Amino acid sequence: MTKQVDMQDSKVIAILLAGGSGSRFGADRPKQFLEVNGCTVLEHSIKAFNRSSLVDEIVIVTRQDFILEVTSIASAYPKVKHVCTGGKERYHSTLSALEVCYSGDNILLIHDAVRPLVSENIIKRCVEALNEYDAVGVAVPSTDTIVRVDANECIVESLPRVALRNMQTPQGFRQRVLRKAFDIGLQDPCFAPTDDCGVVRTYLPHVPIRIVEGEVTNIKITYPKDLEMIRGGR
């Protein structure tokens, strides 16, 4: 059973993770810094959260060698309050953002900067769900049959598609909950999370993670062909 939370004193802080190397993409620059329709992929993501009436502040986490470039881009957007460096793994970027967020029970929306088509409706669904839940994920139903294979690449199990979802971002959290999950997780010598919902699910298993509806257009740029879809979506 979830409980209504008073959000009057909370800020909604969007955290854009822009520290990836984009090695699978094969470009000379990380994909978040490639230009699409007149500005970088990162800037499209900044715009999405900057124009949302629900978002109070934006934090951008990037690589050390792109700090000056990101700071220059961010200067045009008043909601961007911090630009900071991440680390080797994705979770290092989340930790870096947590360090600059004000103390309290803010709402954090952690988003891959290479998902530049995130919509106002997705942001709204996340914030509304965090009025009742401490953690939310954005997802769309799986449209493909998912199978589990063995070491020889032979199918050993077909998973029921009705219960499967393809995760997107943002992932949303009450700041106190995510901070607590990381505090516990960092004591684990095997700590190696791939996403922030996974940190909460593993180290605070009693906390339900509510799935809210994503959109098929909220794609993550992974390969060059994805840029063509982004160009068509803007």
Q: Is residue 2 in some structural domain? A: no
The pLDDT tens digits of the residues spanning 120-164 come to 999 999 999 999 999 999 999 999 899 999 999 999 999 988 889
The pLDDT tens digits of the residues spanning 166-182 come to 999 999 999 999 999 99
The pLDDT tens digits of the residues spanning 92-103 come to 999 999 999 877
Q: Is residue 158 in some structural domain? A: no
Q: Is residue 114 in some structural domain? A: yes
Give pLDDT, residue 25. 57
Q: Where are the beta strands (DSSP E) in the chain?
A: 12-18, 35-36, 39-40, 57-62, 80-85, 107-112, 135-141, 146-149, 155-159, 165-174, 209-213
User: How far is Cα 70 from Cα 231, in angstroms, rounded to an integer?
Assistant: 22
Q: Is residue 154 in some structural domain? A: no
**Domain at 123, CATH number:** 3.90.550.10
Q: Is residue 155 in some structural domain? A: no
Q: Give me the domain span that covers residue 60.
A: 12-140+166-233
Instruction: Check whether 29 has a pLDDT greater than 90.
Output: no
Q: Is residue 7 in some structural domain? A: no
Instruction: Check whether 2 has a pLDDT greater than 70.
Output: no
User: How far is Cα 144 from Cα 78, in angstroms, rounded to an integer?
Assistant: 41
Instruction: Check whether 28 has a pLDDT greater than 90.
Output: no
Domain total of the chain:
1
Percent of residues in the chain assigned helix, strand, coil, to nearest 5:
35, 25, 40
Q: Is residue 39 in some structural domain? A: yes
Q: Is residue 149 in some structural domain? A: no
Helices (H) and strands (E) in the chain, counts: 7, 11
Instruction: Check whether 202 has a pLDDT greater than 90.
Output: yes
Adjacency order of strands within the sheet including 57-62: 80-85, 57-62, 12-18, 107-112, 165-174, 135-141, 209-213
What burial letters (b/e) apply to 170-185, b meaning 16+ CB within 10 Å?
bbbbbbebbbbbbeeb
User: How far is Cα 83 from Cα 68, in angstroms, rounded to an integer?
Assistant: 9
